[in-house]
A and B are shown apart, each in its own frame.
Chain A
């Protein structure tokens, strides 16, 4: 297999993509996406499903499913605003309306049953009260905020505090871009979509954790050996886990794609489609961010530490160049921004990391 052969070369550093060195490009690209997302969100906003804004949807299954019948039923019930009638497949008609009173809802349903000659119990109904959506939105927001706080604390404990920061920045990046895509394309946002978003958070972090674990391993003893700078060690880690990231993402994407395919193809609108679409988009951005955003941010954060600046000098000297020269050749941007700050910050938190971390 060609790909696994590449895996070996990536592992030994023979083939290497300079993710960290090129980070400004990736930051710029992400920033562009975020600006587009913000613009889409600001201008178009999200298209909320009836679950959030209140409303009702009725689906009638009948061999003579026509749009006219539903239009007539709506008219007879005196419901004109916000009504959408869709035909799904060959034998289904879906009527969606704004929030209805109990009486209106019952009348419309009875009319539909009469129009299509079906039993009222066989009409699939979803009716959402206007205040219900606010409740759901509030809960989803609480969930999101709670998740970010808890995960950040956990990652800070299980890995390194700066890794937690970088991982959360990557997650926020993913959510933002996914929401932006929803606003841009105008996909319906339903509770299933929100579940999808929240699952992505977990998944995007899974991916990031895999990469960071390797970064941590590679950088454990860099200050004592002085062979590599933090950025170089981190870059090697990203390259070494590249095949793994690709495989884990692809494998996670396969089931999601099958839900999307079956959900959209067989059932039309509904839980499965909404959920898998959000997951699909989110997984893609999640994979991107753990490679191109999370690790570069981590490197940026860590390279500011005095110990890492000192390490950079030692590595440069070892390689036979002056620190400044080496730095400007290999890692542009980093040194120029941190070199001057070198002597300014030297609190206990910025002391070199423990060399001998507990071995797992």
Chain B
């Protein structure tokens, strides 16, 4: 008998030790999180307000969609976004190979500015103006000249009829984009739609610009403008262009500055410019000028992009969604705990404790993952966490019901804890593994919000396994040794009545 007891006590020390180690590990991680100043869960844009844009690359005459081009685009867009100076902005490519999307997320209410900034191709060209006219469709072409012979130099009949048909007052014709092939002439509108142009092939390209800055024109009174500095090639080309056209008759002495196929301004060139610098004017606000200079500074995107998804969440809606998510979580948790306690009585306390531990571990993971791999909690993520409350509690139920089955078969609670566990363990492992497969596949096949959900679901499934093995099971083992549970009292969850056992003697 005494040998039995000592053997039993030896075994008894293990569950307590497991729980103690778990507690130490958790405390250790908490301190670590505190020291690493990971004290706040990083919230997604839908919970704190912000703009997210998903861009899908589109091949153009200028370039095919290649993996390298996408990488280059990501780095250019990243520089543009960083130029805004908003903390925690993110630019990333999701997907694989050429089938990738670029996802940009910027917190706060930068709004439309960011949308325009990132999507803009920013292909800059300097072209000589061959002809210009009022923006409406009625305005015909090349001044008064109607006969082919009197077209200005460089203008063909085809260009002229294209010019005549163009109606710049219609916003649809002012979308710019991929119409701008540098080596051929171009018929296009000014940005505001007031003027239309026939332009000669490009002579200076955006890639020949080495610097760009927004400056306020103090003397000339033309307000904010963008000042450009060319590199060696650019200086030569721009010098040659200005030297050639400066003596010509209007409008051929104008140099059009074309951005993404639309004319920003078309200054008259009064003298040859060999200094290697130029200014772009055009009724800019300070913000416009700054954004344009940034876009030009970091170069044009190698690809055109379609806006796949644009989502702007105001900080008000963000905090509403956060509150709603937390409230739903609170109510859900409360209901689960209440049901556990009502149905499983004493065992319900184990659920409460286990869920609390699971909650603690999940919160810690959010903190640390936010700090080290940039995990952000989104509304879908919160939903995933709430759904996992149920799934986590389910694994306790699977164990509890097994335990009660074993007791029904006449085993003592102490034995039942072990035999029941062996059977429940398999069920829990298989079931959780299926959940895990689901979340991994969801994660890899989805973009955006779905990913957040999948990630949280997967994470909490791991936490569930962890808690069941290292907390719930040892705790039940410990409790089974207390007289409260092993006597099978009314409140323990093992009473003969609640188990439906006919004779009380079965419950040892």
**A-side contacts of B427, CB under 8 Å:** 209-210, 213
A126 B442 Cβ-Cβ under 8 A: no
> Chain A, interface size: which category?
35 or more
Instruction: Please indicate the chain A residues that have their CB under 8 angstroms from the CB of B353 in the complex.
Output: none
Residue A317 CB within 8 A of the other chain: no
CB distance B433 to A154 under 8 Å?
yes
A271 touches B446 (CB 8 A): no
When the two chains form their complex, are residues A154 and B434 in contact, meaning their CB atoms are under 8 A apart?
yes
Q: Please provide the chain A residues from 183 to 222 with a CB less than 8 Å away from any CB of chain B in the complex.
A: 191-192, 194-195, 198-199, 201-203, 205-206, 209-210, 213, 217
Whether A18 sits at the interface, judged by CB under 8 Å, is no
Stretch at the interface among A26-34, A256-264, A341-349: A256-264
Contact A102 B343 (CB under 8 A): no
In the complex, are the beta carbons of A7 and B404 less than 8 A apart?
yes
12 residue pairs of the A-B complex, CB under 8 angstroms, read: A109-B112, A119-B109, A128-B308, A139-B447, A147-B437, A213-B430, A243-B401, A255-B332, A258-B335, A266-B320, A266-B324, A272-B379
Whether A338 is near chain B, meaning CB under 8 Å from some CB there, is no
Q: Which of A63-71, A246-254, A319-327, A329-337 contacts B (4 or more CB under 8 A)?
A: A246-254
Contact with A along B297-310 (1 / 0, CB 8 A): 00000000011111
Cβ proximity bits A21-58 to B, threshold 8 Å, 1 near / 0 not:
00000000000000000000000000000010000000
- A267 CB-CB contact with B under 8 Å: yes
- The complex places the Cα of A253 from the Cα of B389 at a distance, in Å, of 10
Let me know if B332 and A259 touch, CB within 8 A: yes
How distant is B461 from chain A, measured CB to nearest CB, in Å?
Answer: 9
**Please, which residues of chain B bring their CB within 8 A of the CB of A251?**
336, 339-340, 390, 393-394, 397
Is A131's CB within 8 Å of the partner chain B? yes
Q: Which residues of A contact B450 (CB under 8 A)?
A: 191, 194-195
Q: Which residues of A contact B335 (CB under 8 A)?
A: 254-255, 257-258
Residues in A whose Cβ lies below 8 Å from that of B171? 103-104, 107
Residues B404 and A124 in contact, CB atoms below 8 Å apart: no
Q: Main SS of chain B's interface residues?
A: helix
Taking A129-B306, A261-B331 as known contacts, 17 extra A-B pairs with beta carbons closer than 8 A to each other, sorted by chain A number, are A61-B316, A120-B111, A122-B109, A123-B314, A124-B317, A126-B312, A127-B311, A143-B442, A143-B445, A151-B438, A155-B430, A155-B434, A195-B450, A198-B442, A253-B390, A255-B329, A255-B390
Using an 8 Å CB-CB cutoff, how does the interface string of B325-342 with A read, 1 for contact, 0 for none? 101110111011001101
Contact B331 A258 (CB under 8 A): yes
Which residues of chain A from 49 to 103 have any CB-CB distance to chain B below 8 Å in the complex? 51, 59, 61, 101-103
A255 in contact with B438 (CB, 8 Å): no
Cβ A199 vs Cβ B387 within 8 A: yes
B66-104 toward A: CB 8 Å interface, digit per residue (1/0)?
Answer: 000000000000000000000000000000000001000
Q: From residue 228 to 282 of chain A, which have CB atoms closer than 8 A to chain B? A: 240-241, 243-244, 247-248, 250-259, 261-263, 266-267, 270-272, 275-276, 279
User: In the complex, which residues of chain B have a beta carbon less than 8 angstroms from the beta carbon of A206?
Assistant: 391, 394, 431, 434-435
Tell whether A146 is near chain B: CB-to-CB under 8 Å: yes
The A284-331 residues at the B interface (CB cut-off 8 A) are none
| Residue A355 is within 8 A (CB to CB) of chain B in the complex | no
Docked complex Cα distance between A270 and B174 (Å): 34
Q: Are A132 and B56 in contact (CB under 8 A)?
A: yes
Among B175, B314, B333, residue most surrounded by chain A Cβ atoms (within 10 Å)? B314
B500 in contact with A6 (CB, 8 Å)? yes
The reply to whether B320 and A267 form a contact with Cβ atoms under 8 Å apart is yes
Contact indicator B109/A272 (Cβ below 8 Å): no
The answer for the CA separation of A122 and B316 in the assembled complex, in Å, is 8
Which residues of B from 390 to 420 have beta carbons under 8 Å from A? Answer: 390-391, 393-394, 397-398, 401, 404-405, 408
Q: Quick check: B339 and A258 within 8 Å, CB to CB?
A: no
Complex CA gap A147/B443 in Å reads 11
Q: Are B56 and A4 in contact (CB under 8 A)?
A: no
Q: Verify B397–A5 contact, CB threshold 8 A.
A: no
Q: What CA separation (Å) do A104 and B112 show in the bound complex?
A: 13
* A159 sits at the interface (CB 8 A): yes
Flag if B446 contacts A143 (CB, 8 Å).
Answer: yes
Q: Which of A8, A255, A259 contacts B336 (CB 8 A)?
A: A255
> Which residues of chain A have C-beta atoms less than 8 A from B314's C-beta?
61, 121-124
**With A121-B110, A126-B311 as contacts: A263 and B343 at CB distance below 8 Å:** no
Whole-angstrom distance from the CB of A177 to the nearest CB of chain B?
19
Q: Tell me the bound Cα distance from A125 to B119 in angstroms.
A: 17
Closest residue of chain B to A118 (Cβ to Cβ) is B314
Residue of B at shortest CB range from A6? B500
Cα(A359)–Cα(B329), bound, Å: 39
- On whether the beta carbons of B316 and A247 are closer than 8 Å, the reply is no
Give A276's nearest chain B residue, CB to CB.
B383
**Which residues of B sit under 8 angstroms from A109, Cβ to Cβ?**
112
Q: Which of A11, A119, A140 contacts B445 (CB 8 A)?
A: A140
- Which residue of A has the minimal Cβ distance to B310? A127
Q: Which residue of B lies closest to A5 (CB)?
A: B500
B449 touches A192 (CB 8 A): yes
Query: With A3-B343, A146-B445 in contact, do A121 and B175 touch (Cβ < 8 Å)?
Result: no
Q: Is A136 an interface residue (CB 8 A)?
A: yes
Chain B's nearest CB lies how many Å from the CB of A135? Answer: 7
Give the chain B neighbours of A150 by CB distance below 8 A: 437, 441
Nearest chain A CB to B113's CB is how many angstroms away?
9
Would A59 and B324 count as touching, CB distance under 8 A?
A: no
B310 touches A125 (CB 8 A): yes
Given the contacts A102-B175, A132-B56, A4 and B309 also touching, CB distance less than 8 Å: no
The answer for the CA separation of A146 and B430 in the assembled complex, in Å, is: 18
- A146-B320 in contact (CB<8A): no
Q: How far is the CA of A213 from the CA of B425 in the complex (A)?
A: 11
CB neighbours of A132 from chain B (8 A) = 54, 56, 306, 308-309
Residues of A within 8 A of B320 (CB): 266-267
Are A262 and B405 closer than 8 Å at their CB atoms? no
Residues of A within 8 A of B336 (CB): 251, 254-255
Indicate the member of B321, B427, B500 with the most A CB atoms within 10 Å: B500
B138 at the interface (CB under 8 A from A): no
- Known: A131-B56, A147-B437, A271-B449. Is A11-B307 also a contact (CB below 8 A)? no
Closest chain B residue, CB of each to CB of A132: B308
Whether the pair A202, B405 counts as a contact (CB closer than 8 A) is no
Say yes or no: is B124 at the interface (Cβ < 8 Å to chain A): no
> Is A4 in contact with B386, judged by CB distance below 8 angstroms?
no
**Distance A173 CA – B309 CA, assembled complex (angstroms):** 33
- Per-residue CB contact flags for chain B residues 248-283 toward chain A (1 = under 8 Å, else 0) read 000000000000000000000000000000000000
Complex Cα–Cα for A123 and B115 (A): 14
Given A121-B111, A259-B383, A275-B380: A11 and B447 interface contact (C-beta under 8 Å): no
Q: How far is the CA of A264 from the CA of B174 in the complex (A)?
A: 41
A252→B309 contact, CB < 8 A: no
A contact residues around B434 at 8 Å (CB): 151, 154-155, 202, 205-206, 209
Is B457 a contact of A199 with CB atoms below 8 Å? yes
CB distance from A236 to the nearest CB of B (A): 12
Whether B56 pairs with A252 at a CB distance below 8 angstroms is no
| Cβ of B19 under 8 Å from chain A | no
B37 within 8 A of A: no
Q: CB-CB < 8 A to B328: which residues of A?
A: 255, 258-259, 261-263, 272
B422 at the interface (CB under 8 A from A): yes
In whole Å, how far is B280's beta carbon from the nearest beta carbon of chain A?
22
Contact of B339 with A250 in the complex, beta carbons under 8 Å: yes
Shortest C-beta distance, A286 to chain B (Å), equals: 12
- The 6 nearest A-B residue pairs measured at CB: A8-B500, A255-B332, A202-B438, A252-B390, A143-B445, A121-B111
Q: What distance in Å separates the Cβ of B144 from its nearest Cβ neighbour in chain A?
A: 33
Inter-chain contacts of B112 with A (CB < 8 A): 106, 109, 120-121
Contact of B453 with A by CB under 8 A: yes
Query: Within 8 Å of chain B (Cβ to Cβ): is A354?
Result: no
Docked-complex contact B438 and A139, CB < 8 angstroms? no
Residue of B56, B317, B422 contacting most chain A CB atoms (<10 Å): B317
Known: A120-B112, A259-B328. A129 touches B307 (CB 8 A): yes
